[in-house]
Structure 1
């Protein structure tokens, strides 16, 4: 699998210089406007720039409301959204970073998931989508690139805040059952991809054959019926959960995932590689901050013309804070 991060600090890396996050690298698997950032407390974050359709202020209100709803859920299957803001005419969102390949990357790089992997993915997606439903949100826009195969289970890292329909961040739908049916269809499409390595289509009925895909037999009919045209013919979220695991209990999922092997060796190695690369990028950022703080004023004032900092810009204050903290840590270690 290719590199997860591009640490070359090209000009566009500084386009979110007005956010309170220190840019570390571009995330190559995301859109061109998705970056790895560092929060003031040292937490790695995913900072994504958006070009919302319609009035920017209305979009920001919707995104902020939805982000607050998602963070309040506290679901281990959904990445926490940390902040929403606007910089230089673009909206931005910040969410926690989860080391690991997306479902799409894993399938493209290593092939379909194992039967146990498909079953665990089903359980995780049902739990994530159920949590979203409880908050009045929908996950129907979630794609295979929005689901990360983390060490202890799949995690939805992007629910598409720019696709939120309601003015207060909630779903605006005249038919709640139809909206839920669309969520079920989205889950089924993700499971079909995970089991077969192919996107779901009108031919998805082939999943009923035991010779097709790495899929637990109990899930085959549920996946097939989730792709039916009539919403009423699709299973419910509860029926999907039962097909994935007859003893499915949401509260016990986290501990059960820790005890049950479900990731392939390739995916586990990919998770470790990304965690190690993150540690390296964080160390480089601290080293840069130490050098910048120790440099003479005449040298530290020299900056690339492409990187224009404004005096009161939040990122400047963040950079100074990071530099000061790094220098204090360095002197503390020397004094031991």
Structure 2
């Protein structure tokens, strides 16, 4: 079935499939593009898809060619397996059947053409090598950002949003691991079969030389295609990982208090406690907000801290002034051996 790729409906459909291609749930992809998608033909629809380095894992998927599958694994090597030595020998035999003149002019022309094509392959490989070197340098810095995000998420209270962010972080780390494994795989692409020019050593003529250069061009072409596929997937996973980490960076650092507000404690009794400064000496503006919301005209607040806790004393004075608790507060100073030296607790009690 042919599609008009310029129609608005086709482009909308492609955009919708591209969105689902990013999601691991209800995933849409093309095996021919190694889980990418650039056209709406031969699609694979999966309930769940997990990327893992140079392979993709599909759970409960369907393709036009294979139908329904409970579990399927797609590998890059399945799509782009290199030519075997036997296949290269067949290509060489077909090339040797080409006619040549006595002076070898045709072979020289073929050599010039193959040199030009080989140079194009090598230039492309050099460009890919430069990209990979840049990605390696960026990955080292980016790993530090992931460490920072991990530490930031550890500080978040348990909530539905924090669990979602942990899931996003896990997916971002999976993408980063895929990048690192593919970078390692890229460095192993250099094992292509090359011509040793043994025939040329025995029979040095233009035609034999052309055959050797032809084999080298075929293997260089395979190396270029394999390297380009790896770099394409490295870029894809890198962009997705960075995009997810950017969302986490905004959620976990720029807006921590507005995204993770905890509800005020229900006052089932006459006493409610608020941790204004925790065991590590971190002031909680959220707890102060909860205290202010819970106060009523008949409430009295008792501040509890250790005798050497200067931050607790200063925070107490600030809270009394900010919440207008003059005449409605009391303080309890405990010995450092009996109470945490950084902790400040505000205990609210309804006056009888």
* TM-score of Structure 1 vs Structure 2, range by shorter chain: under 0.3
Of Structure 1 and Structure 2, the greater strand share is in 2
Which of 1 and 2 has higher RCO (CA within 8 Å, sep 6+)? 1
Normalised to the residue count of structure 1, the TM-score between the two structures is 0.20
- The structure having more radius of gyration, on CA atoms, is 2
TM norm structure 2: 0.20
